[in-house]
Structure 1
Amino acid sequence: MGAIERNGYRFEPEYSVIEQNGAIHVYDNKGKFIEEVKFSFSGNYPEIDQLEQIVAEYCEEKGI
Protein backbone atom coordinates (compact mmCIF):
# COMPACT_ATOMS: atom_id res chain seq x y z
CA MET A 1 0.00 0.00 0.00
CA GLY A 2 1.31 3.38 -0.91
CA ALA A 3 1.09 6.74 0.76
CA ILE A 4 -2.10 8.80 0.78
CA GLU A 5 -1.74 12.53 0.02
CA ARG A 6 -4.21 15.10 1.38
CA ASN A 7 -3.88 18.90 1.34
CA GLY A 8 -0.08 18.79 1.30
CA TYR A 9 0.17 16.13 4.01
CA ARG A 10 1.41 12.59 3.40
CA PHE A 11 -0.01 9.59 5.26
CA GLU A 12 2.11 6.43 5.12
CA PRO A 13 0.45 3.25 6.41
CA GLU A 14 2.32 0.27 7.81
CA TYR A 15 0.85 -2.82 9.44
CA SER A 16 1.49 -6.25 10.93
CA VAL A 17 -0.69 -9.12 9.77
CA ILE A 18 0.44 -11.27 12.71
CA GLU A 19 -0.50 -8.66 15.31
CA GLN A 20 -3.52 -7.35 13.35
CA ASN A 21 -2.59 -3.73 14.00
CA GLY A 22 -0.92 -0.89 12.21
CA ALA A 23 -0.15 2.80 12.14
CA ILE A 24 -0.38 5.65 9.71
CA HIS A 25 2.60 8.01 9.89
CA VAL A 26 1.66 11.61 9.18
CA TYR A 27 4.14 13.98 7.49
CA ASP A 28 3.75 17.66 6.61
CA ASN A 29 4.47 19.15 3.18
CA LYS A 30 8.17 19.48 4.06
CA GLY A 31 8.48 15.80 4.96
CA LYS A 32 8.60 16.43 8.70
CA PHE A 33 7.07 13.64 10.81
CA ILE A 34 4.06 14.92 12.77
CA GLU A 35 2.55 11.91 14.51
CA GLU A 36 1.51 8.28 14.35
CA VAL A 37 -2.14 7.24 14.18
CA LYS A 38 -2.62 3.65 15.37
CA PHE A 39 -5.37 1.31 14.17
CA SER A 40 -6.38 -2.35 14.21
CA PHE A 41 -7.88 -4.53 11.49
CA SER A 42 -8.98 -8.08 10.75
CA GLY A 43 -8.08 -10.27 7.81
CA ASN A 44 -4.91 -10.44 5.73
CA TYR A 45 -4.45 -6.67 5.44
CA PRO A 46 -6.29 -3.43 6.22
CA GLU A 47 -8.81 -2.46 3.56
CA ILE A 48 -8.04 0.70 1.59
CA ASP A 49 -11.48 2.04 2.56
CA GLN A 50 -10.53 1.69 6.24
CA LEU A 51 -7.28 3.60 5.68
CA GLU A 52 -9.07 6.31 3.69
CA GLN A 53 -11.61 6.67 6.52
CA ILE A 54 -8.87 7.00 9.15
CA VAL A 55 -7.16 9.70 7.06
CA ALA A 56 -10.46 11.53 6.45
CA GLU A 57 -11.29 11.52 10.17
CA TYR A 58 -7.79 12.72 11.05
CA CYS A 59 -8.01 15.57 8.54
CA GLU A 60 -11.44 16.60 9.83
CA GLU A 61 -10.30 16.48 13.46
CA LYS A 62 -7.13 18.49 12.76
CA GLY A 63 -8.75 20.93 10.31
CA ILE A 64 -6.50 19.90 7.46
Structure 2
Amino acid sequence: MGAIERNGYRFEPEYSVVEQNGAIHVYHKGEFLEEVKFSFQGKYPELDQIENLVDKYCDEHGIE
Protein backbone atom coordinates (compact mmCIF):
# COMPACT_ATOMS: atom_id res chain seq x y z
CA MET A 1 0.00 0.00 0.00
CA GLY A 2 1.61 3.21 -1.12
CA ALA A 3 1.35 6.78 0.01
CA ILE A 4 -1.58 9.02 -0.90
CA GLU A 5 -0.89 12.65 -1.84
CA ARG A 6 -3.38 15.48 -1.70
CA ASN A 7 -2.69 19.18 -2.16
CA GLY A 8 0.79 19.19 -0.60
CA TYR A 9 -0.07 16.59 2.05
CA ARG A 10 1.27 13.06 2.07
CA PHE A 11 -0.44 10.19 3.88
CA GLU A 12 1.74 7.13 4.51
CA PRO A 13 -0.10 4.07 5.89
CA GLU A 14 1.59 1.31 7.85
CA TYR A 15 0.03 -1.61 9.68
CA SER A 16 0.65 -4.73 11.75
CA VAL A 17 -1.18 -7.91 10.74
CA VAL A 18 -0.34 -9.53 14.09
CA GLU A 19 -1.78 -6.68 16.17
CA GLN A 20 -4.58 -5.86 13.67
CA ASN A 21 -3.91 -2.13 13.88
CA GLY A 22 -2.20 0.54 11.87
CA ALA A 23 -1.53 4.23 11.46
CA ILE A 24 -1.46 6.80 8.73
CA HIS A 25 1.44 9.22 9.08
CA VAL A 26 0.48 12.68 7.85
CA TYR A 27 3.12 14.99 6.35
CA HIS A 28 2.81 18.47 4.88
CA LYS A 29 5.60 19.60 2.59
CA GLY A 30 7.85 16.92 4.11
CA GLU A 31 7.16 17.86 7.74
CA PHE A 32 5.53 15.24 9.98
CA LEU A 33 2.24 16.51 11.42
CA GLU A 34 0.54 13.62 13.17
CA GLU A 35 -0.40 9.97 13.23
CA VAL A 36 -3.96 8.76 12.62
CA LYS A 37 -4.46 5.34 14.22
CA PHE A 38 -6.93 2.70 13.06
CA SER A 39 -7.75 -0.98 13.48
CA PHE A 40 -8.81 -3.58 10.94
CA GLN A 41 -9.78 -7.22 10.55
CA GLY A 42 -8.33 -9.77 8.18
CA LYS A 43 -4.94 -10.11 6.52
CA TYR A 44 -4.56 -6.39 5.79
CA PRO A 45 -6.61 -3.17 5.86
CA GLU A 46 -8.83 -2.60 2.84
CA LEU A 47 -7.76 0.19 0.50
CA ASP A 48 -11.25 1.71 0.85
CA GLN A 49 -10.75 1.94 4.63
CA ILE A 50 -7.47 3.85 4.17
CA GLU A 51 -8.98 6.16 1.56
CA ASN A 52 -12.00 6.86 3.80
CA LEU A 53 -9.71 7.77 6.70
CA VAL A 54 -7.72 10.12 4.45
CA ASP A 55 -10.96 11.68 3.11
CA LYS A 56 -12.24 12.20 6.66
CA TYR A 57 -8.93 13.77 7.72
CA CYS A 58 -8.99 16.10 4.73
CA ASP A 59 -12.60 17.12 5.39
CA GLU A 60 -11.88 17.82 9.06
CA HIS A 61 -8.79 19.89 8.26
CA GLY A 62 -10.10 21.77 5.21
CA ILE A 63 -7.77 20.03 2.75
CA GLU A 64 -9.12 19.82 -0.78
- TM class by shorter chain equals over 0.9
C-alpha RMSD of the superposition = 0.5
Structure 1 residue 7 displacement after superposition? 1.2
The residue that corresponds to 1:39 in the other structure is 38
Count of residues paired in the alignment: 63
Identity of aligned residues (%): 76
The residue that corresponds to 2:7 in the other structure is 7
User: Which runs of 4 or more aligned residues in structure 1 lie more than 6 Å from their structure 2 counterparts after TM superposition?
Assistant: none
The residue that corresponds to 1:51 in the other structure is 50
TM-score (norm 1): 0.96
Unpaired stretches in structure 1, ≥5 consecutive residues = none
TM-score (norm 2): 0.96
